Amino acid sequence: MAFGFYGLLLCFHLLVQSIFAFVEHRRMRTRQEACSYTKTVGFTISAYQEDPKYLRDCLESVKALCYPPELLRIVMVVDGNTEEDRYMMEMFKEIFADQDPSCYVWQNNYHSRPAGVDPQEDTQRRNVEEIIRTKRCVCIMQKWGGKREVMYTAFKALGSSVDYIQVCDSDTKLDPLATVELVKVLESNTRYGAVGGDVMILNLKDSYISFMSSLRYWMAFNVERACQSFFDCVSCISGPLGLYRNDLLQQFLEAWYNQTFLGRHCTFGDDRHLTNRMLSMGYATKYTARSKCYTETPSQFLRWLNQQMRWTKSYFREWLYNAMWWHKHNLWMTYESVVGMGFFPSFFVTATMIRLFWMGTLWNILWVLCCIQLIGLIKAAYACILRQNFVMIFMSLYSALYMTSLLPTKYFAMITINKSSWGTSGRRKLVGNYMPLLPLSIWAAILLSGLSYTIYRESKQDWNSAAKKEEIKYLIYGAVAYVSYWFIMVFAYWMWVRKLCRKRSQGYNVNV
């Protein structure tokens, strides 16, 4: 009963969300303002142990952007200055060879310098700033410090020399009009502090994980962020494609870099905190589907799980920071944070599952499993209508990933919220962090133990009674319906999706 009520609330939330998203998409399509082509843009690329194929595609797409070269300053900062990182600088030189590129190997970074050396007397730091502010295409290799350190170097060195700063990851392939469309939005209203674009999955054909991620991304950007944009309060300007007003960004740059939580310096959630800083100043954050890019997503389960762990940690931490600025923005921001995407849904689902597996009957357990898939199927069918593409029906399979993996990961993320790292491993190395598997094991143990206890308890019942015989019928019908659903969906996935995806996406192979 409780789960069915929750499902109704979820469907109602999606309906309301999609209505506002639809209106926002109409606004995007009807916007007629032309780009003035007067604003200078500092285009920053954060790179760390990137797969050469992805990096090459990223740099070539940046070079092909339809924005006046004299107004676009390209800065790639590599997190690492060893010989094994040099291939990224060499590739930058090769691709921008006709643009007179400047490359520099910095032995330190802004927050790691020789002892006793005054920052103003640091020759290498002055060289970095001089190169970035005077050259159009620059690649800097610096001492490893994490993604936030890399972003800080580009932001700090650019200073006030540009009007806008665009962020981009080294695995991102941009549409030629990506920058133009972002600039149009910021030019249209001085209240807009930042804008993000539509991020799609480059390697959706690699695995079940990457395919599911591609469907989830579509919902996240074209429904959730579009709805938030209607209310001028997009919660996160994604790292692959975002544009900020530089005069505002420079005001909170130091506070952004020096962010602490529970006494420790924060090194993940960089993009979400940048967005939150902009929202804290009372400025609007927007989304436009007219600016597009493709980015790589983990296709290996463990690497995907590590990514989700990092994102979940930053979400919960930034939720607390964001709560201080709800009063500055539309009421939707508060509602979505508390009810739509906040703590309540996770706690409710967890409590319901544990109670039913330990205190319910076999029919209760089967019923809730059927309800989960039914809710997922309704949501997926609605997504098919919104996108006008039947492929979204497979979105119903995402519920299995959520219930078995993402849900327990949320709690582990809360417990280990102060554990920091670069995040998802570099694509040239194997994933070495197996800790995210721990909450999955604990969650499985809790549910399986509850199921075993329920089976034992039910075995003591009199199954020859009329009520139990009736229950057996429902158990058989429910089990057949549940198994049939999974058989049909899995069969359709392998026969249709895998057939279409047999050929990898234009040779984008990622070695992890």
Question: What pLDDT, in 10s, does the model give residues 291-329?
Answer: 999 999 999 999 999 999 989 999 989 998 999 999 999
pLDDT value, residue 422 = 45
pLDDT value, residue 15 = 87
Pairwise CA distance, residues 442 & 446, whole Å? 6
Q: CB neighbours (10 Å) of residue 446?
A: 16
Pairwise CA distance, residues 129 & 158, whole Å? 7
pLDDT value, residue 5 = 66
Indicate the pairing of strand 192-201 with strand 284-295: parallel
Sequence-ordered list of residues with C-beta below 8 angstroms from that of 260, at least 6 positions apart, any chain: 266
- The tokens for 240 are 């692959």
pLDDT value, residue 2 = 57
Q: How many residues does the chain have?
A: 512
For residues 134 and 79, the answer to whether their CB atoms sit within 8 Å is no
For residues 398 and 212, the answer to whether their CB atoms sit within 8 Å is yes
- The tokens for 411 are 């709690």
What top-level class would CATH report for the domain 15-113+124-301? alpha beta
pLDDT value, residue 6 = 67
For residues 280 and 329, the answer to whether their CB atoms sit within 8 Å is no
Domain ranges in the chain are 15-113+124-301, 342-502
Which secondary structure element, helix H or strand E, spans residue 293, and what is its range?
A: strand 284-295
For residues 132 and 96, the answer to whether their CB atoms sit within 8 Å is no
The amino acid sitting at 121 is: E
Distance set, CA 447 to CA 355, 374, 408, 441, 457 (Å)? 10, 20, 11, 10, 15
Please list the ranges in the chain whose pLDDT falls under 50: 422-423, 504-512
Buried b (16+ CB within 10 A) or exposed e, 242-251: bbbbbebbbe
